Amino acid sequence: MKEIKFSLVYRDMWQASGKYVPRKDQLAKIAPVLIEMGCFARVETNGGASEQVNLLYGENPNDAVRTFTKAFNDAGIKTHMLDRSLNGLRMNPVPADVRELMYKVKKSQGVDITRIFCGLNDVRNIIPSIQYAKAAGMIAQATMCITYSEVHTAEYYINMSEQLIAAGADEICLKDMAGIGRPEMLGKIVKAIKTAHPDTIIQYHGHSGPGFSVASMLEVAKAGCDYLDVAMEPLSWGMVHPDVITIQAMLKDAGFKVPEINMNAYMEARRLTQSFVDDFLGYFIDERNKFMTSLLIGCGLPGGMMGSLMADLKPVHANINAYLKQNSKTELTEDELLVKLFDEVKYIWPKLGNPPLVTPYSQYVKNIALMNVMFMEKGQARWSMIDKNAWDMILGKAGQLPGKLDAEIIELAKKNGYEFFVGDPQSNYPNELPKYIEEMKANGWDRGKDDEELFEFAMHEKQYRDYKSGDAKKRFEAELEAAIKEKYSKSAIEIPDIRKLKYPNAEPVVSNATGRVIWELDFNEKSVEPVHGKIVKEFDTICTIQTNYGLEHIGSFCDGRIVGVEKNQGDMVRKGEVLAYVEKN
């Protein structure tokens, strides 16, 4: 009886649904419940854009990763992350020394497995990461981006897997990012790999958007797959992944050995995840991502893009209709424009060399298609606008395209005076760590445990600067307030207290005087702001208000933990203003 194990893609559940991911305190709360479910051998804890997102709302991603992985490490459940090989954890290429440091940092933070993919399936970008990961003591899971075209055949992927295994890959992942891989083809790929390399672990990752993934999971299981990526309510299905309950029942009926699910723990994890949605994350989840659509089959775009795609479509829609109206022509509906866009993606994709439609190349192809539709609707030529990032893809600066460029595209490149690049993509991006080390030293910034802060600065330079300055947190709070107002403006419901919405299970700590906020002193007698999740006892001093007559100490009204800080160090406050939020134990 073949055993199939499950991996919960908790990170991807959020990122395929919306923009943000849970806070550190929320991750700490959900981890023991996921363990109690008893059905997950692996959990995806970080990677992709998640750590950049932490910075965007003012949270240290290194603290979040260490907090989330610890519980699983202690329970013997393997943790895994998603990495973009040449692009590391961002959208653009990363210097080799920063890439190499990433694996040392993530291993020290408790991440066991790294899922290494190249958005172009160029093995030259994946192989160095395999070597870096193994040198750091991580399991190197080399990944093939699955799509469906005349180029992307079973033989194409079987050949790619042979190259990755020969290069030292410990495992192979089939990353079906748009969920358009056909079940039969996927079964053939897995069977071929298992026949040639029976001891190589294979994991399948298939989004549920167009509806193939459940059938695909059954096919790859029959072919010898070892692990399946699954989700759970309230974020399963839609553009995300099939639910573990469905997949477990299907495989059990088919005769596979699968783990049992502690349903009481499932319901508690479901409740907690919903509470995170209700806290603030739901304001950034696009409703369209909750639904499946077969429209994705033709264009091959990943479903998680639908929210951003529709947002991009709105200004183009308005631009086109303004032109049509001005010229006494029939205006387009949003659905008509969407069909035109999908058709254009389908048309231009092979002309652009069939790049797998995964981040960031799905965005580049979509952007070219969108501009083509707009210009053609206005009577102008196709290819009138192609941005620099898309040209870098076309010219081979980030890797070799799987298919052949159309002669029309080659001629357009020559007309613009562009040169094609055929060398190692990494050579375009020289080492940069000394630059960041020097600047951190000049700024007095700590490089962090195991150089994790250095890594974060080098990987996400702009976002890290904004995090350190506090600008990121301020922008996020303004963004959240705007999102809340927008949601309630569309209904007859009165806009609630926005601060209370941010911390629904907590009570406010208010100032008893007018003056300047002084937070607690650390052992160097420097004032520091409390971190999210800090435990406090009833009557403990949370902060002090410096008034014109002396100091007023503000105590906690209960045993609990700080879940929100409303005032920064040194802020002036008036009597009765909210300083922080405390959640009772």
pLDDT in tens, 131-179: 999 999 999 999 999 999 999 999 999 999 999 999 999 999 999 999 9
CA angle 71, 77, 82 (to 5 degrees): 90
Torsion of CA 69, 71, 77, 79, to 10 degrees: -10
Q: How far apart are CA 119 and CA 356, in angstroms?
A: 6
Residue corresponding to tokens 């519980």: 71
Pair type for strands 578-584 and 507-510: antiparallel
Strands 541-547, 515-519: pairing is antiparallel
Per-residue pLDDT at 510: 85
* pLDDT, tens only, 175-209: 999 999 999 999 999 999 999 999 999 999 999 99
Provide the pLDDT for residue 313: 79
Q: Running DSSP on this structure, what letter comes out for residue 291?
A: S
Residue 469: CB atoms within 10 A of its CB come to: 10
What is the pLDDT confidence band of residue 509, given thresholds at 50, 70 and 90? confident
Whether 486 has a pLDDT exceeding 90, the answer reads no
Grade residue 401 by pLDDT with cuts at 50, 70 and 90.
very high
Residue 521 clears pLDDT 70, i.e. is over it: no
**Least-confidence region, from 130-134, 323-327, 379-383, 490-494:** 490-494
| Residue 535 burial (CB count, 10 A) | 10
CATH 3.20.20.70 for the 5-288 domain, yes or no: yes
Confidence of residue 497 (pLDDT cuts 50, 70, 90): low
Indicate the burial class of 235 (C-beta count within 10 angstroms; 0-12, 13-18, 19 or more): buried
How confident is the prediction for the chain on average, in pLDDT?
Answer: 91
Task: Name 209's Cβ contacts closer than 8 Å, sequence gap at least 6.
Answer: 178, 179, 238, 239, 292, 293, 296, 302, 303, 304
- Where in the chain is CATH 3.20.20.70? 5-288
Tokens matching residue 238 = 């839609």
Residue of 95, 99, 124 whose CA lies nearest to 114: 99
Q: Are 250 and 240 in contact (CB under 8 A)?
A: no
Strands of the sheet containing 572-573, edge to edge, are: 550-555, 541-547, 515-519, 572-573
204, two tokens: 């399948």
The strand pairing partners of 229, in sequence order, are 7
Q: Start-end ranges of CATH 2.40.50.100 in the chain?
A: 505-584
Is the pLDDT at 339 greater than 80? The verdict is: yes
- Average pLDDT value for residue range 419-440: 95
Distance CA 197, CA 80 (A): 22
**Three-class DSSP category at 55:** helix
Residues in CB range of 464: below 8 A, 6 or more apart: 55, 456, 457
pLDDT at 298 over 70: yes
Q: Which residues contact 293 (CB under 8 A, 6 or more apart)?
A: 209, 210, 303, 306
Burial of residue 34 (number of CB atoms within 10 Å: 0-12, 13-18, 19+): buried
Segments in 429-514 forming alpha helices (H): 433-443, 452-459, 461-469, 471-489, 498-502
Max Cα–Cα distance, the chain, nearest Å: 81
pLDDT at residue 523, as a whole number: 41
pLDDT over 70 at 327, yes or no: yes
What's the Rg (C-alpha) of the chain?
A: 25
505-584: in CATH 2.40.50.100: yes
Q: Which two tokens stand for residue 244?
A: 């573990």
- Per DSSP bridges, beta strands 515-519 and 572-573 are antiparallel
Q: Name the residue with higher pLDDT: 54 or 557.
A: 54
Output the CA–CA distances (angstroms, integers) from residue 105 to 25, 154, 198, 449, in the order listed. 21, 36, 31, 9
The answer to whether 16 and 304 have CB atoms below 8 angstroms apart is yes
Contact between 97 and 431 (Cβ < 8 Å)? yes
Q: Assign residue 450 a region: left if phi > 0, alpha if psi is -120 to 50, beta otherwise?
A: left
d(CA 21, CA 103): 22
- pLDDT computed for residue 502 by the predictor: 62
CB 206 within 8 A of CB 185: no
- Mean pLDDT of all residues in 429-449: 96
pLDDT tier for residue 304 given thresholds of 50, 70 and 90: low
Q: What is the pTM of this model?
A: 0.84
Which pLDDT does position 492 carry in this prediction? 55
The β-bridge partners of 5 are 227
Share of the chain above pLDDT 70, in %: 94
- Burial classification of residue 224, based on how many CB atoms lie within 10 Å of its CB (0-12 exposed, 13-18 middle, 19 or more buried): middle
Decide if 390 contacts 367 (C-beta within 8 A).
yes
- Residue 552, amino acid: E
Taking only the tens place, the pLDDT of each residue in 525-545 is 455 556 656 888 888 888 888
> Given the structure tokens 């081979």, which residue do they identify?
396
Tell me if 92 sits within 8 A of 56, measured CB to CB: no
Amino acid in the structure at residue 527: S
402 forms bridges with which residues in the sheet? none
pLDDT band at 522 (very low <50, low <70, confident <90, very high): very low
Percentage above 90 pLDDT, the chain: 69
Q: Which residues have a Cβ under 8 Å from the Cβ of 530 and sit 6 or more positions away?
A: 519, 520, 542, 543, 562, 565, 580
Cα separations (Å) of 126 from 84, 129, 133, 197, 572?
8, 5, 11, 19, 52
Write the pLDDT tens digit of every residue in 81-139: 999 999 999 999 999 999 999 999 999 999 999 999 999 999 999 999 999 999 999 99
C-alpha to C-alpha distances, 284 to 87, 115, 276, 511, nearest whole angstrom: 25, 26, 12, 31
What is the number of other CB atoms lying within 10 angstroms of the CB of residue 170?
17
User: DSSP code of 485?
Assistant: H
So what's the pLDDT on residue 518?
87
Average pLDDT over residues 358-367: 90
